[in-house]
């Protein structure tokens, strides 16, 4: 596995490991991980506080039809489209996270609030174009990284977790696959109502500057920790 | 890349002959295996670069030509629905599908350009000889100038113009307002 590196002194984000075959085939792929303490009074699965709702509303006003059409040409969303094709996903069928969010915005007339956790991740995504996911840090064993799934491996540690086909790209800790890359999280590892410590991770691909990825994680951390 | 290198590799395999010891043969085979893997790796990298270039052009056409040309919706089964490391064959198929889709888009762009050119010619004729095109409507969508509204040859001053043969080309007022129709209720009814 590639060495885990600290990116900068003032940030808590660290570059996750990559399995050698992933590093060789997809050299531009990086996983940036960080932790956040949920310090707000609201539960993560409860409604968002007014300032988060307000920010979503402002973002809704900033994103209009013209941008929705042109977004596939913007550098960061375009980089994710290319990467989707490189890993066998058709971006016009399985939409990239930012395009899915923008499409939802156009269909529903705004970025609708769901719960604090989803709203904060959506804020980071729309602001930077970089998708961020959150896991319950208590269920994560060691550093996160990217690798291909193994024969007979399950998604998560639960006994009834679904089996993964071999070769699927997953985000894993030191002992189990915790999420499909750009896909679902393993059941039992998602943050719940009582989660206080979150393991955040963002996926960086070739063409996406470091700054955008660090910014995405920082937006989440600042929102959860009320920095 | 591999198609060209493969015969070279195969020819070389017969070269060592019986003079090599078993250890030397294994070493040569190892080197060749490594060379083949490196060649395949380079081919995959080249295919990814091609896919990136095709994707950029594909996106440019869709973004510039919206709403007249939309991205062809791929079959959900055309590609794996989950992310994985693609081998050489899968990358080639992905590149070929994207190239075919881009080819289709380019053909539609050509058709669209021709359609708009014909519409512009028609508009010019309507402008020059409105009397020959009485009440003919030409949607601005056909001209690539928007989605609402149309050019129409109408009589100047209504019935008088119809009788006098005064025809003119007029542009309609465009898209309906987002707020919709004005309320038909009077101020009293709103209270």
Q: pLDDT tens digit string along A54-90? A: 999 999 999 998 899 999 999 999 999 999 999 999 9
Q: Where are the domains of chain A?
A: 5-225
- Per-residue pLDDT at A160: 85
Check CB contact under 8 Å for A78 and B83: no
pLDDT at A158: 87
Which residues in A lie closer than 8 A to residue B71 (C-beta atoms)? Answer: 92
Q: pTM for the whole thing?
A: 0.82
Place of tokens 């059409």: A69
The fold adopted by the segment(s) A5-225 is Phenylalanyl-tRNA Synthetase; Chain B, domain 3 (3.50.40)
User: Buried b / exposed e across A95-114, counting CB within 10 Å, b at 16+?
Assistant: bbbbbebbeebeeeeebeee
Compute the nearest-CA separation of A39 from chain B (Å): 34
pLDDT for the residue B23: 79
First-last CA distance in chain B? 78
Q: Where are the domains of chain B?
A: 1-70+87-118, 129-180
Measured distance CA(B114)–CA(B121) in Å, rounded: 11
Q: Nearest CA of chain A to the CA of B82: how many Å?
A: 7
Predicted complex ipTM exceeds 0.90: no
Lowest average pLDDT, out of A65-69, A129-133, B113-117, goes to A65-69
CB contact set of A199 (below 8 Å; sequence gap of 6+):
A33, A34, A35, A134, A135, A136, A137, A140, A144
pLDDT at site B158: 87
Q: A227 exposed, middle or buried (CB, 10 Å; 0-12, 13-18, 19+)? A: exposed
Contact state of B79 with A180 under an 8 Å Cβ cutoff: no
Residue-wise pLDDT for B5-58, tens only, equals: 444 444 444 555 557 787 788 888 777 888 888 999 999 999 999 999 999 999
Written in H, E and C, the secondary structure of A22-75 is HHHHCCCCEEEEEEEECCCCCCCCCCCCHHHHHHHHHHHHHCCHHHHHHHHHCH
pLDDT on residue A98? 97
pLDDT digits (tens, 9 = 90+) for A175-213: 999 999 999 999 999 999 889 999 999 999 999 999 999
Determine the pLDDT at residue A6.
Answer: 41
């Amino acid at each position: 596995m590639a060495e885990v590196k600290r990116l900068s002194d003032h940030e808590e984000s660290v570059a996750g490991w990559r399995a050698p075959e992933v590093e060789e085939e997809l050299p531009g792929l990086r996983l940036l991980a960080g932790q956040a303490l949920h310090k707000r009074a609201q539960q993560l699965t409860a409604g968002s506080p007014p300032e988060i709702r307000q920010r979503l509303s402002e973002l809704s006003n900033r994103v209009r039809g013209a941008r929705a059409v042109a977004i596939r040409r913007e550098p960061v969303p375009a980089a994710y489209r290319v990467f989707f094709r490189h890993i066998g996903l058709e971006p016009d069928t399985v939409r990239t996270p930012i395009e899915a969010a923008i499409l939802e915005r156009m269909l529903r007339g705004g970025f609708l609030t769901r719960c604090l956790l989803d709203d904060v991740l959506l804020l980071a995504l729309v602001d930077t174009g970089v998708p961020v996911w959150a896991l319950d840090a208590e269920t994560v064993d060691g550093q996160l990284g990217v690798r291909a799934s193994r024969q007979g491996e399950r998604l998560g540690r639960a006994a009834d977790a679904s089996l993964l086909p071999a070769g699927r790209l997953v985000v894993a800790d030191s002992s189990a696959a915790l999420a499909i890359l750009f896909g679902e999280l393993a059941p039992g590892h998602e943050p719940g109502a009582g989660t206080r410590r979150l393991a955040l991770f963002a996926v960086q691909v070739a063409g996406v500057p470091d700054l955008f990825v660090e910014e995405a994680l920082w937006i989440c951390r600042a929102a959860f920790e009320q920095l | 890349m591999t198609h060209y290198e493969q015969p070279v590799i195969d020819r070389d395999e017969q070269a060592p002959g019986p003079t090599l010891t078993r250890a030397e043969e294994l070493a040569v085979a190892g080197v060749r295996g490594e060379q083949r893997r490196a060649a395949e790796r380079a081919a995959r990298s080249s295919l990814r670069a091609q896919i990136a270039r095709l994707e950029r052009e594909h996106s440019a056409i869709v973004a510039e030509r919206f709403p007249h040309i939309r991205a062809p919706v791929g079959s959900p089964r055309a590609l794996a629905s989950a992310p994985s490391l693609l081998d050489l064959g899968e990358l080639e198929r992905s590149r070929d599908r994207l190239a075919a889709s881009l080819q289709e888009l380019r053909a539609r762009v050509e058709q669209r350009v021709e359609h708009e050119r014909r519409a512009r010619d028609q508009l010019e004729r309507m402008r020059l000889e409105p009397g020959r095109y009485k009440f003919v409507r030409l949607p601005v969508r056909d001209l690539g100038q928007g989605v609402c509204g149309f050019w129409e040859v109408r009589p100047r001053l209504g019935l008088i113009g119809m009788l006098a043969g005064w025809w003119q080309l007029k542009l309609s007022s465009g898209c309906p307002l987002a707020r919709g129709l004005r309320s038909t209720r009077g101020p009293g009814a709103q209270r």
